[in-house]
């Protein structure tokens, strides 16, 4: 009989999460029935959106309920199967949750060929890479020679956005926190990097983007969005991918106070969800794989270890400790 260790929600957190917001439980799993598979979790994808699912605000997916296992994407291995779609030993991708094992009817799980290390597949070829691909190319629609600014640029989504923008011949400015992140972005070939923690971002953006900004790929919202809006060009596209500065904040969200810049510049601000692109996922994976193999996209994975570290690993996204894709190996 398999044992499962899992984290369930005990109370809704305020600010950063704490172990005490959750309960860590060990349980015996029943034998699988016809049509079911037993999955052993190998890697969790740690994503900012999980912090939003811990609130009781309605979102694009329902909030995680008290006593429910914490929802999380990830990769696991089928270790027993009574479902004809899956064989023992196969790697699968889907919502595995903060737990070591789960029983599923297989719906929502996709078989994954093991062509690359799992953390890389969860990064550039995973949902954040696909978000970067469609967010920039479909919503941002970059043209050669345009200036693209990316916030959260050393993160999973941002680092891929910035490098695709380079591939498309754009002048790319990345905004990230700290020397190490900025140094890596220079290695990735960005034209300019702004350390928003060490400089006054509004001043730096004005200094570096003297010819204005055509696309802003926003991962963080708040003061940086406001800073960029002061410098946009006519017909600029503001791609609203995320607003991480708000997700774990205990204060009221900040700004932007200068939305009139959109009017003056006939600019467009548009939010999007990667989930709307799942049917076109293969197109993105094909293109991203090619760039990855050709060395045109550099990548980093920050792999923490241990089921017991789920809450603290989630916090790394909000304290800026991760470089590249945050992963937890179970």
Ligand X SMILES: NC(=O)c1ccc[n+]([C@@H]2O[C@H](COP(=O)([O-])OP(=O)(O)OC[C@H]3O[C@@H](n4cnc5c(N)ncnc54)[C@H](OP(=O)(O)O)[C@@H]3O)[C@@H](O)[C@H]2O)c1
Q: How far apart are CA 124 and CA 131, in angstroms?
A: 10
Distances, alpha carbon 180 to alpha carbons 46, 190, 195, 217, 316, in Å: 21, 14, 10, 21, 15
Q: Does 71 bind ligand X (CB under 6 A)?
A: no
Q: Does 219 bind ligand X (CB under 6 A)?
A: yes
Q: Which residues of 195-220 are buried (b: 16+ CB within 10 A; e: fewer)?
A: bbeeeebbebbeebbeeebbbbbbbb
Q: Does 241 bind ligand X (CB under 6 A)?
A: yes
Cα 153 to the chain's mean position, in Å? 12
Which of 73, 94, 126, 177 is close enough to bind ligand X by CB under 6 A?
A: 177
- Paired with 225 in beta bridges are none
Contact string 77-116 vs ligand X (x = CB under 6 A):
----------------------------------------
Contact string 300-319 vs ligand X (x = CB under 6 A):
-----------------xx-
CB of 322 to ligand X, least distance (A): 5
CB burial of residue 246 (10 Å; 0-12, 13-18, 19+): middle
Which of 49, 50, 147, 171 is close enough to bind ligand X by CB under 6 A?
A: 49
What residues have CB less than 8 Å from 283, skipping those under 6 apart? none
Binding residues for ligand X restricted to 266-295, rule: CB under 6 A: 272-274
Is the previous residue joined to 256 through a cis bond, with omega within 30 degrees of 0? yes
Which of 181, 192, 237, 299 is close enough to bind ligand X by CB under 6 A?
A: 181
CB of 126 to ligand X, least distance (A): 10
Give the count of alpha carbons within 13 A of 224, CB side only: 27
CB of 81 to ligand X, least distance (A): 30
Cα 113 to the chain's mean position, in Å? 22
φ and ψ at residue 124, rounded to 5 degrees: -65, -40
Which of 6, 32, 41, 47 is close enough to bind ligand X by CB under 6 A?
A: 47
Q: How far apart are CA 173 and CA 140, in angstroms?
A: 15
CB of 148 to ligand X, least distance (A): 16
Between 36 and 301, CB nearer to ligand X = 301
CB of 151 to ligand X, least distance (A): 7
CB of 223 to ligand X, least distance (A): 8
Q: Which residues bind ligand X (CB under 6 A)?
A: 47-49, 127-128, 131, 152, 154-158, 176-178, 181, 219-220, 241-245, 272-274, 317-318, 320, 322, 326
């Amino acid at each position: 009989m398999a044992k499962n260790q899992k984290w369930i929600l005990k109370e809704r957190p305020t600010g950063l999460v704490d172990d005490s917001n959750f309960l860590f439980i060990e349980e015996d799993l029943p034998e699988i029935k016809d049509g079911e598979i037993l999955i052993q979790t190998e890697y969790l994808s740690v994503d900012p959106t999980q912090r939003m699912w811990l609130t009781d605000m309605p979102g694009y997916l329902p909030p995680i309920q008290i006593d429910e296992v914490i929802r999380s994407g990830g990769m696991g291995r089928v270790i027993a199967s009574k479902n004809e779609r899956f064989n023992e030993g196969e790697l699968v991708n889907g919502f595995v949750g903060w737990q070591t094992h789960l029983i599923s009817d297989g719906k929502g799980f996709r078989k994954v060929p093991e062509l690359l290390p799992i953390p890389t597949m969860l990064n550039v070829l995973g949902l954040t890479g696909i978000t970067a691909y469609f967010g920039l190319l479909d919503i941002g629609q970059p043209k050669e020679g345009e200036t693209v600014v990316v916030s959260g640029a050393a993160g999973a989504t941002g680092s891929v956005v910035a490098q695709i923008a380079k591939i498309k011949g754009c002048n790319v400015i990345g905004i990230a926190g700290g020397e190490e992140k900025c140094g890596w972005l220079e290695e990735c070939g960005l034209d300019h990097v702004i350390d928003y923690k060490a400089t006054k971002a509004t001043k730096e953006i004005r200094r570096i983007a003297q010819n204005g900004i055509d696309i802003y790929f926003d991962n963080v919202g708040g003061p940086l969005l406001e800073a960029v809006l002061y410098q946009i060009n006519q017909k600029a596209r503001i791609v609203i991918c995320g607003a991480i500065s708000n997700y774990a904040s205990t204060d009221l969200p900040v700004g932007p106070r200068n939305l009139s810049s959109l009017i003056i510049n006939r600019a467009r601000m548009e939010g999007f969800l990667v989930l709307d692109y799942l049917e076109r996922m293969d197109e993105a994976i094909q293109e991203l794989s090619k760039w990855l193999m050709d060395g045109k996209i550099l990548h980093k994975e920050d792999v923490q270890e241990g089921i017991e570290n789920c809450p603290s690993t989630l916090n790394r996204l909000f304290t800026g400790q991760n470089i590249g894709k945050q992963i937890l190996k179970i």
